[in-house]
Amino acid sequence: MGNGISQEQLEAHLARQEQLIKQLQAVVDQQAASLESMGAVAVDYSVNGAGTDVPVAKELYDEVVGVVRASAHSRKAELPVTDDEKENAGNVEWAEPTAEEERGFMATKPWLGAMAPPTGFQFGLTDGLPNVKLELEHVHGYRGSGVRQNVIWIDSKTILYFTASVGIVHNIETNTQKFFRNHSDDILSIAYHPGRRIVATGEKGKMPSVHVWDVDSCQELAKIAGFHSRGVVSVSFSLDGGRVAAVGLDDHHSITVHDWASNQMLGCAEGGTERILDIQFNLTDTADSNNDFVTCGVKHIQFWSISPGTLVGNSGKLGNLGERQAYLAAAFSTQYTILGTQNGELYLFKAEKLVKVIPAHQQSVFALKGVRDTLISGGKDGAITKWNMNTLQKVATLNLTKIEVHPSSRRPRTTSAPSTCSMKTRSSAAHSPIRFIAPSFRAPT
């Protein structure tokens, strides 16, 4: 034979296989007899009350016989294939399964009944990749956990936010979206400069980056990378929009300021061992809003200035008015740096000194937003409060706990408003209500 095995050798091999099968069958018969006797003993024990009835002998015998027969069948299938068989196997063409084969497939693989080839599909002719590609049409959902101040009004009909690794510009009137998709991991922070219509977003990851992009075209303008690690938890634009400040999630909560257009780092510093939750350029009258900024976080208040090649920071002075706690958000009036605190108060600083404490919410102040002469605060207690920025007196309060919404929507983590802002109260005829975003916000469908 062509493969070096003669007919006599093949027949001898088959005879040996047959002899082995007979010997194995004899062993099985012997084991079956033993199992039957064991079964009888078990029954006797049960009758005498000295043991438990375990009538398994017959089942064990059937299992052993089944295993042996399957083994013998597989051994026959492993016999050498002749040259003629090899040659004929190569000439077999694929054929559609018969009706009987189809029924067998359905019995063992029922999901096949729900599958069908595309219209016009032919094996070997039209089974290449389709000449189409997937496009992102709409993103449903919003990230409300582990982040703050991450929804921004662009104008009266457009909002800016993110979920996963996608920056989203959403028109709420037409329910259409545009996307920024250059991030390689989940976005954690966002900032917007209305004068230049640019966005900064920071991501998480081993070596996270900050991207600056155009809000109208969603095209990237700059990518800042190579310094932070683990994540960028907060970003902020300077008053003129030319500088971006960022806070990292590394052990020292490092802070950087970049001229994003030239990708030049203007300064860096370690923020400390406590978690930093917000960074904002200082917009008070006495500060240089392109050079000075504020960071706040867990037992952390720091006032910074950019010095050539570095950052110089001074801690906020609480005196006898305040206590060290978590400071969750920052905003500014012409006179004050305003911090929202863990215990629900607003801390007002002049320069670096705490000068006033205002009770604001029953629980933590999660979000602050200054809009011209108005300050908006959002608390864990479910209240959205409008304040006069000059007098810091309450103008109106919206209590989300009295609105029929999902419970998770009653604790706003971000507040934002268009350029004009008023709040409708039960006793007021005002027709332009404040708009806010709560954690369970979803894009309309």
For 322-342, the pLDDT digits (tens) are: 999 999 999 999 999 999 999
Task: Confirm whether 444 is domain-assigned.
Answer: no
Residues 253 and 172 in one domain: yes
Provide the domain limits for residue 71. Answer: 7-81
- Across 321-430, the runs of DSSP E, i.e. the strands, are 327-332, 337-341, 345-350, 353-359, 365-371, 374-379, 383-388, 394-399, 414-415
CA dist 222 and 225 (Å) reads 10
pLDDT at residue 159, rounded to an integer: 95
Q: How many CA atoms does the CB half-sphere of 159 hold within 13 Å?
A: 22
pLDDT at residue 399, rounded to an integer: 87
Residues 49 and 165 in one domain: no
Residues 27 and 167 in one domain: no
Lookup: tokens for 206: 């081993």
Task: Confirm whether 389 is domain-assigned.
Answer: yes
Task: Confirm whether 89 is domain-assigned.
Answer: no
Among 37-41, 174-178, 314-318, 361-365, the minimum mean pLDDT is found in 37-41
Residues 222 and 327 in one domain: yes
CA dist 329 and 189 (Å) reads 13
Residue pair 249/302 in contact (Cβ under 8 Å)? The answer is no
Last residue of a domain, one of 27, 62, 81: 81
Last residue of a domain, one of 55, 81, 107: 81
Where is pLDDT greater, at 445 or 9?
A: 9
CA dist 297 and 11 (Å) reads 86
CA dihedral 402, 405, 407, 413 (to 10 degrees): -90
Task: Confirm whether 142 is domain-assigned.
Answer: no
Q: What percent of the chain is predicted at pLDDT more than 70?
A: 72
Residues 333 and 252 in one domain: yes
**Helical axes 57-77 vs 7-48, angle rounded to 10°:** 170
Q: In what order do the strands lie in the sheet with 383-388?
A: 365-371, 374-379, 383-388, 394-399
CA dist 202 and 211 (Å) reads 7
Lookup: tokens for 379: 């608390």
Q: What is the CATH number of the domain that holds 396?
A: 2.130.10.10
pLDDT at residue 287, rounded to an integer: 96
Q: What is the mean pLDDT of residues 157-174?
A: 96
Among 115-119, 153-157, 171-175, the minimum mean pLDDT is found in 115-119
Q: What is the mean pLDDT of residues 167-193?
A: 96
Task: Confirm whether 353 is domain-assigned.
Answer: yes
Last residue of a domain, one of 36, 51, 81: 81
Task: Confirm whether 87 is domain-assigned.
Answer: no
Where is pLDDT greater, at 122 or 175?
A: 175
Residues 271 and 359 in one domain: yes
Q: Is 144's pLDDT higher than 50?
A: yes
Residues 300 and 208 in one domain: yes
Give how many domains the chain has, as a whole number: 2
Task: Confirm whether 269 is domain-assigned.
Answer: yes
Lookup: tokens for 333: 């009036």
Tell me which residue of 372, 373, 316, 304 sits closest to 347, measured CA to CA. Answer: 316
Residues 232 and 371 in one domain: yes
Q: Is 42's pLDDT higher than 50?
A: no
Q: pTM (2 decimals)?
A: 0.66
Q: What is the mean pLDDT of residues 152-165?
A: 94
Q: Is 12's pLDDT higher than 50?
A: yes
Task: Confirm whether 400 is domain-assigned.
Answer: yes
CA dist 35 and 268 (Å) reads 81
Percent composition of the chain: helix, strand, coil (DSSP 3-state, to 5): 20, 35, 45
Lookup: tokens for 191: 């900032």
Q: Is 47's pLDDT higher than 50?
A: no
Q: Is 135's pLDDT higher than 60?
A: yes
Residues 160 and 69 in one domain: no
